[in-house]
Structure 1
Amino acid sequence: MSLPTGEAKYNIYEVRFKNGRKHFFKNTENLTLYMGDSVVVEGSPGYDVGVISLSGELVKIQMKKRNVTEDSEEVKKIYRKASQNDIEIWQEAREKEPETQRKGREIISKLGLKMKLSDVEYQGDGKKAIFYYTADERVDFRQLIRDLASLLSIRIEMKQVGMRQEAGRLGGIGSCGRELCCSTWLTDFRRVNTNSARYQQLSLNPLKLAGQCGKLKCCLNYELDTYLDALKAFPKQDVVLKTEKGEAVFVKMDIFKKLVWYTYKNERSRWFMLSLEQVDEIIEINKNNQVSASLEDYQMEVEIEKKVSFEDAVGEDSLTRFDTPKKSKNKKRRRKTNNSNKSQQNNQNRNQNNQKTKNKPKVEVTQNNKKPKQNKTQNTNQNDNKNQSQNKKRPNNNRKKRPNNRNRNNQNKNAQNKQNNQ
């Protein structure tokens, strides 16, 4: 995008380092730089390697937020674009970080310091390392720096961070299922109080309100302003309603539905749901030194929400049709197939008999025409009887007949008697 005539490109860039650490650097060499370029910048001492994250007029806005001026000592120089050799040295230094962190934790445990070492970051040239730690109290780590410097032979810098900053450096997934805000875009860590949860009518459960850092979630502040604007329309919670039956006290409210619950002082077990307009009406009556009607007259009926039922618009079966197992129909099918086979055999036999009777010579009858008809019916009956006898199951003579229990008992008694007689 071309700039207007007479205007030069802003020569200060924002450079990002490990885990979201950002600083501003000045392009004194007039290099052509773009977002995403790896650059070699001024370090203390030596040099460092980072990636350009922001350029142009947006850098001015970020500098105003952090109260950084162009002439301040915090704005250092950009030396050059990173070469392949610079990137290889930087990667070798990054590979040493896990082992350095392990050694640092061992020394901390030996010295008995009440601090937690959360992360280690090497400079791009490998001559300096920054140790990030968290601690509830002030820690004297002078002996720790001496031991680390003699062990690693590099310059050591200790930097204390808060719990939220530690979670932002390490990263993670929140209860909403998304990546943590502090590790992606949130840079301004404001203080979060339990009052923000009270204004939003949330239960003060520390397990639900705490984030990955162990502190209250930063997202409790996101909708706080909208809740405060909505609460302006509601009466104060310490207002007492004077009715014919007695004085009523506030219990709870629903900001989105604009509903308020009140109960009598003498009868705390019963709650009465009123709309915001009804509560304002009772308060105006009480301002005129008058007593309103009882809360039973103002109480709203609770509408039971209908359950959403899903219907088949296409005419298909219900969704639960596969829940109950179907009964097996194999037995009935087998029976039907056997009966159908038998009926087919009978029909075939009948057709064969009818063909035989057609092929026989006709008998000439002069006196009575009914005799041959009788013979035909007799023949068909005989054939049917034969077919039925053929279709009957033949007895299986191969099976051995089992002797009855009585015969066995008698045989055993006879054998015993013979032995006794002998």
Structure 2
Amino acid sequence: MSDTKVKTSVLHGAKDLRLEERQLPALGPEDVLISVKATGLCGSDLHYFHHFRNGDIQVREPLTLGHESAGVVTAVGPAVSSLQPGDRVALEVGQPCERCELCLGGRYNICREMKFRSSAKAVPHAQGTLQELITHPAKWCHKLPSEVSNELGALAEPLSVALHASDRAKLEEGSTVLVFGAGAVGLLCAAISKAITQATVVIADIQQDRVNFAVENGFADAAVVVPLKQPRPETIDEKLAFAKEVAELVKGAKIGDKPVGEVTGTYECTGVESCLQASIYATGPGGKIMIIGMGNPIQTLPISAASLREVDLIGVFRYANAYPRVIELLASKNPLLPDLTRLITQRYTGMDNIPKAFEMAARVKDDEGNLVIKVMVDM
């Protein structure tokens, strides 16, 4: 341990965030010391904040949240030559073992020994980035060019999820894409589909304002509002009938005077059973469904409707080898890439306001009636 103490936001229980001082780990030969400047709040952070757990993962010791971050290098270890003090970086916060067959094969995101900052899966927990200073391996710090702000550097993390999903999909240019969920990750999947695949994008959500936002800001070409009604009693047949109804809404959505029809690929970003069911019915033969949303872990699916038409269901978990390409895209001024700064809808300054930021991130709209999409903390 070093002698340096840093101010840290620490979660001790549901909605129990405290500002504390923590001793900073010593700077290793291949590490850099980073002054954290911008951190976006993510859905997994919110689950931990509200429930002190994320799905089946229970927090077992005080945990610092935050993993969508960018900052400024303030010191470097003696073996570091790639970075120097003053460099701005985006932090890739997953630390795999780098020895196993998955890591050596380039799929380090699913390394069995992965330690991911702000996740309670590994014990001791890998502490997150909602702290003044953080020591991190230089290998997992990606230098930001002058064209990319600290806030966009923080967005590089969820944008990497979207790019990794696109990598897994391998859709041809000009495909028609459906995105279920118009939250931050869904909108970023739509943005990547626009910029990389040059796709026609249909976005679906239960909130009219969110899908309107997507179309008005160039993330999507057509919008579908998913009905809120739930079939009762919820027999399997009634659930699937509802999913088919949603799929028909997608197929009937119009771009100009032309209905969308069946889509080539679907990015399912909600984790909601009915949305994954509808994805199967809305995706055409030979199409692909990216399963991104981490919602209901047990779902009933019309699997024969997928297998008989060779619709592939593809799991997506975080990202691998995406950050450099994401940063290049952010700096490229690609005219097909929507303005991602519009996703940052609320900003909070200073660590004292982190609890307020979490409370806001759980809302649909703020007090002025503005959509809440991505809440950013300026440290």
Q: With the length of structure 1 as denominator, give the TM-score of the two structures.
A: 0.20
When normalised by structure 2's length, the TM-score is: 0.21
Structure (1/2) with the larger helix percentage: 1
Larger Rg computed on CA atoms: 1
> Hey, which of these two has a bigger chunk of strand by percent?
2
